[in-house]
Amino acid sequence: MSAAPERYDVVVIGSGPAGAKAAQQAARLGKRALLVERELSVGGACVHRGTIPSKTLREAALALTSFKARTGSVFELKLRDDLQVASLMTRMEEVVRAHEQMMADQLRRDRTASRHGRARFVDPHVIEVESVSGATARFVADHVVIATGSKPRTPSDVPVDHEHVLDSDSILSLTYLPKSLTVLGAGVIAAEYASIFAALGTKVTMVDRVARPLGFLDPEIADVFVRAFHRMGSRFLGGRRHVAVEWDGLDTVVTKLDDGSEVRSEKLLCCLGRVANLEGLDLGNAGLRANERGLLSVDANCRTAVPHVYAAGDVIGPPSLASSSAEQGRRAICAMFGVTLGHGSDVIPAGIYTIPELSQVGMTEEQAKQGVGGCLVGRAQFGELARGKIAAMEEGLLKLVADPGGRKLLGVQIAGEGAAELIHLGQEALIHGAEVDGFVDNIFNFPTLAEAYRVAALDIVLQRRALFPAGAPGAPADSPLGRS
């Protein structure tokens, strides 16, 4: 007679940002948690094929491009024609191993059990895990979190061969840096890789049906990215669709567009979305099925239609960022065990690691107009800041979005290096309900990019004074402008 299945308070399937955070949160609540991962190491695609590797390449590209600008072109810097992509990522394995070890150490400290293998539902509460050798073990779960991530979507008319026509999993396996690259798509992954390769000197052409890339961003911020992309000698073709992609058998990928034009390049990167990793889970045995978009539908607390089964990360769809996925994993566990989420858990910033970096939190200008009937917007150009000039970061922009009275902060958007770090000051201000005037009274180190918050806040104060002259009916109380 076989041994009875082990019982766990929660079984988490997948160890990417969502799964790892869910398992850690459960363990820290004193719950018995099991983390199941099909890969040899924890971390998921984020660590092995996505965030960590791509950002490692980005750092190399950024170092190369910023060196010339910051040294006033005193030194001549030229990449070899036969430069191997792998040589630009010599630190990648070191970084990946360190991140894997950090995650494993955290799970061990939290006493989270783990299993290597493929998981599937036997019934709503029983999970079977098959190891590489084919051996199976079953576990009874009071609760389940599905966090199996996603993989690149490959349209039938894009012949991905991982040599000439690549996807986001295979792009970093390129032997040599191509002289030209076509990128299909205009989302986060497409924009990040397009700008990285453009910065390295590759002539990149982005093609997508949308008018501008990164459509969820504030348009003014997205436009900063497009201008920088064009200055690097690359181009974005918006409002176009590919109708055929062909490798000519020699040295060129030919992409035919719906307007009759062609884009010819050495390589092509297909970034036309991702699909949830749900195959093999036998969701029907749990009473679940994917929705029309191939995702799992969940409520605000990441609960699926089956009350004890939750889902987090890429399997539930956008924004599909590592930070938001981790928060979804935490949110699922907190809801599962009746733990109240802390204040500010809904104020999650988006960080896009293009060149230049982009980030935003809270309402955009358009969202404020629709949501509260209007807004005042303050802007600070990095080129007008001493630190921006010193560091040759003259293209940066920071926007503060305030309510129609110019008092309450509603959102922050930033384009420029350091954006994903700078955004956290705005995030904290939003969480604590800070007013715009607080940035004017605040003292910032000089010279810093953080001064942009004060400059943008002063911009709003000036607009407010023009709109509401002192002494006029409905005029706000005295602003700090006179004290600045």
DSSP codes, 228-272: HHHHTT-EEETT--EEEEEE-SSS-EEEEETTS-EEEESEEEE-S
- Choose one of 272, 307, 327: the last residue of a domain: 272
**Among 7-11, 103-107, 415-419, where is mean pLDDT lowest?**
103-107
- Choose one of 336, 366, 388: the last residue of a domain: 336
Q: Residue 90: its pLDDT value, please?
A: 67
Residues 258 and 296 in one domain: no
Is residue 76 one of the residues assigned to a domain?
Answer: no
Instruction: Give the burial string for 321-349 (b: 16+ CB within 10 Å, else e).
Output: bbebbbbbbbbbbbbbeeeeeeeeeebbb
Residues 336, 337, 338, 342, Cα dihedral to 10°: -90
* Angle made by CA atoms 210, 164, 273, in degrees to the nearest 5: 35
Count CB-CB contacts under 10 A for residue 2.
6
CA distance 221 to 205: 20
**If pLDDT is split at 50, 70 and 90, which confidence band does 102 have?**
confident
Place of tokens 């002494």: 471
Q: Residue 374: its pLDDT value, please?
A: 95
Higher-confidence residue of 51 and 356: namely: 356
Is residue 160 one of the residues assigned to a domain?
Answer: no
Is residue 218 one of the residues assigned to a domain?
Answer: yes
Q: Residue 84: its pLDDT value, please?
A: 62
Higher-confidence residue of 78 and 329: namely: 329
Is residue 375 one of the residues assigned to a domain?
Answer: yes
From the list 128, 123, 124, the residue with the least C-alpha distance to 139 is 128
Place of tokens 């509603």: 410
**If pLDDT is split at 50, 70 and 90, which confidence band does 479 have?**
very low
**If pLDDT is split at 50, 70 and 90, which confidence band does 472 have?**
low
Mean pLDDT of the residues in the chain: 89
Average pLDDT over residues 206-220: 95
**If pLDDT is split at 50, 70 and 90, which confidence band does 1 have?**
very low
Residue type, 391: A
Give the pairing of strands 165-167 and 267-270.
Answer: parallel
Average pLDDT over residues 332-349: 87
Residues 147 and 43 in one domain: yes
Is residue 479 one of the residues assigned to a domain?
Answer: no
Show the domain range for 46: 6-56+88-152+275-336
Residues 313 and 424 in one domain: no
pTM above 0.85, yes or no: yes
**If pLDDT is split at 50, 70 and 90, which confidence band does 59 have?**
confident
Query: What phi and psi, each to the nearest 5 degrees, are found at residue 122?
Result: -90, -40
For 362, the enclosing helix (H) or strand (E) is strand 358-362
Place of tokens 């181009």: 235
Count CB-CB contacts under 10 A for residue 358.
29
Residues 325 and 366 in one domain: no
Residues 39 and 134 in one domain: yes
Q: Residue 44: its pLDDT value, please?
A: 64
Upper half-sphere CA count for residue 7 (Cβ side, 13 Å): 2
Is residue 477 one of the residues assigned to a domain?
Answer: no
Q: Is the pLDDT of residue 481 over 60?
A: no
Residues 175 and 289 in one domain: no
Residue type, 183: V
Q: Is the pLDDT of residue 474 over 70?
A: no
- Choose one of 252, 272, 292: the last residue of a domain: 272
Is residue 341 one of the residues assigned to a domain?
Answer: no
Average pLDDT over residues 341-366: 90
Supply the Cα-derived Rg of the chain in whole angstroms.
25
Residues 208 and 282 in one domain: no
Residue type, 411: G
For residue 426, give the CATH number of its domain: 3.30.390.30
Residue pair 92/52 in contact by the 8 Å Cβ criterion = yes
Residues 283 and 259 in one domain: no
β-sheet with 350-352: strand ranges across:
350-352, 358-362, 409-415, 397-402, 376-381
Provide CB contacts within 8 A for 288, sequence distance 6+: 296, 304, 305, 306, 309
Residues 115 and 243 in one domain: no
Question: What is the helix, strand, coil percentage profile of the chain, to 5?
Answer: 35, 25, 40
3-state class (DSSP) for residue 77: coil
From the list 345, 285, 338, 288, the residue with the least C-alpha distance to 311 is 288
Tokens of 84: 């191997």
Higher-confidence residue of 425 and 84: namely: 425
Residues 137 and 15 in one domain: yes
How many domains is the chain built from? 3
Return the percentage of the chain with pLDDT > 90, whole number: 71
Give the pairing of strands 126-130 and 136-146.
Answer: antiparallel
Residues 246 and 281 in one domain: no
Is residue 328 one of the residues assigned to a domain?
Answer: yes
Q: Residue 383: its pLDDT value, please?
A: 92
Q: Residue 47: its pLDDT value, please?
A: 54
**If pLDDT is split at 50, 70 and 90, which confidence band does 269 have?**
very high
Residues 216 and 287 in one domain: no
Inter-CA distances, 49 with 30, 54, 68, 171, 185, Å: 32, 8, 30, 10, 18
For residue 297, give the CATH number of its domain: 3.50.50.60
**Among 82-91, 181-190, 201-210, where is mean pLDDT lowest?**
82-91
Q: Residue 112: its pLDDT value, please?
A: 84
